[in-house]
Structure 1
Amino acid sequence: MGHYKQLLRVPGRGTLLDNAIGQARQLSAQITVVAGAGYPLVRFRCHRQPASWIVCDNWQAGLAESLKAGVAALGPRVLGVFVVLGDQPLLDVDGLKQLARQARDNPAKALGASYGRRTGVPAWIPRALWPQVFQLEGDAGAGVILNRAGAGRVEIAGVQQDVDTPGDWRQVRAMLNAEQS
């Protein structure tokens, strides 16, 4: 992207990270942000503050390190963890609420957003799967674990549109602007 994408401005919603924190609040009141590149600038420019920040010093090794850092910071009484990415600003609120309801109804079951034939994030990863999280390496993320575990699928509109390149951002920003019109 050429700069910290978490700081991209989402029309009417602050930064991309502010937006993600708002999405995560549909799932839980206890929000933890795992930050790597650009910390503490990203934290300073974030207007919505989570309950806590975790700094992933090894972020260059891939997204598995961020996931491991976040899970490792959770207490012994936690039943599972919701995982939300910072680069999916088009997620449907009703789909997120459905994910939260299903996780609360059956906290032992892994759940994730439906991507057609596979499952991914946003997701609920129950504690029983955490040992598998700590075995991940590189850019392997929650989807690997969710699909191996046969996770339940939740329809969440907007999961296909993430922001990885300037072209993605132009497309997503156009969609966001159309929503505002």
Structure 2
Amino acid sequence: MSGTHAAVVLAAGGSRRLGRAKQLLTRGGETLAHRAARLCAETSPRRLLVVVGAYREDVAQAVAGIGCELVVNDEWERGLGSSLRTAAAALVAHEGPTLIVACDQPALESAHLRRLLDGAAATGLGCAATLHDGAPGIPAVLPPSWREHAGQLQGDQGMGRKLRELRADAVWTLDAPELGFDIDNDADLRVAIERGLLDDVSL
């Protein structure tokens, strides 16, 4: 049965520091873009959006068959904020919470997403976030009001600041240190391969 939430996979970045499309790196032969979309699909969202920008044709091919909606962020070079604004605009008619997921956290598992959705449902605000060095971030479950704030985001601003402004008891938090590791550069890529989180590639 479908849940009341929508899900958004952020997969529009240009991976400038890495020099290759991180969305297309693989774990167990599965691209990170496909993996993130698949894990979100397993939560049975009402709508599943994948925000694409750089490498859009390759990413679109990577997530083919998932049953997701591709949303193009033509301003992807302006940073994360532009992708969140794009997603917010596409979900203007959605009245439920939204699960936000990035595709560059290779340790992400379906259990993380289930715990976030369950945690959000237990709060009055319907909000949950993952702790990163003590601060809330993504993956996160946000109430409908997040879309209003998204319109004000600039550059690489995400929803972290807004989450920090909420009362501590209004946000259920997931303590999962493994999700603090993401792929930004070659050093991160090497570590991920050593940990078995990514398939070996030629650096």
- TM (normalized to structure 1)? 0.87
Partner Cα distance (1:105, 1:127) in 2: 16
Partners of 1:111 and 1:153 within 8 A in 2 = yes
Tell whether the 8 Å contact from 2:130 to 2:140 is kept in structure 1 after alignment.
Answer: yes
Q: Is the 8 A contact 2:107 2:197 kept in 1?
A: no
Q: Does 167-176 or 19-28 show the bigger shift?
A: 19-28
Which residue is equivalent to 1:19? 35
Give the distance between the partners of 2:173 and 2:145, measured in 1 at CA: 18
Matches within 5 A, 1:19-168: 19-29=35-45, 30-106=47-123, 108-150=125-167, 151-168=171-188
Contact persistence 1:92–1:157 (CA under 8 A): no
Give the Cα–Cα distance (whole angstroms) in 1 for the partners of residues 187 and 57 of structure 2: 27
Q: Is the 8 A contact 1:34 1:66 kept in 2?
A: yes
Aligned CA-pair RMSD: 2.1
Cα distance, 1:77–1:61 mapped onto 2, change above 3 Å: closer
Cα deviation, residue 165, structure 1 = 0.7
CA contact (8 A) 2:50 2:69 kept: yes
How far off is 1:54 after superposition? 0.2
Note if contact 2:123-2:172 (Cα within 8 Å) is conserved in structure 1.
Answer: no
| Count of aligned pairs between the two proteins | 177
Structure 2: 5+ residue stretches without partners:
1-17, 199-203
Distance 1:145 1:48 in 2: 34
Listed as ranges, the gaps of 5+ residues in structure 1 are none
Aligned residue identity for 2:132: Y
For the structure 1 residues 167 and 2, does the alpha-carbon distance in structure 2 shift closer, same or farther, using more than 3 Å as the test? Answer: same
Q: Distance in 1 between matches of 2:76 and 2:187?
A: 24
Take 2:121 and 2:197, find their aligned partners in 1: how far apart are those partners? 34
TM-score, structure 2 normalization: 0.78
Q: 1:92–1:156: 8 Å Cα contact kept in structure 2?
A: no
Secondary structure at the aligned position of 1:34 is classed as: strand
Give the letter aligned to residue 131 of structure 1: E
Residues 176/25 of structure 1: CA separation in 2 closer, same or farther (3 Å cut):
farther
Structure 2 counterpart of 1:172, which letter? A
Question: 1:170 corresponds to which letter in structure 2?
Answer: R
CA contact (8 A) 1:58 1:65 kept: yes
Partners of 2:122 and 2:191 in 1: CA distance: 36
> Any idea what SS the aligned residue of 2:116 has?
helix
What percent of counterpart residues are identical? 27
Q: Secondary structure at the match of 2:98?
A: strand
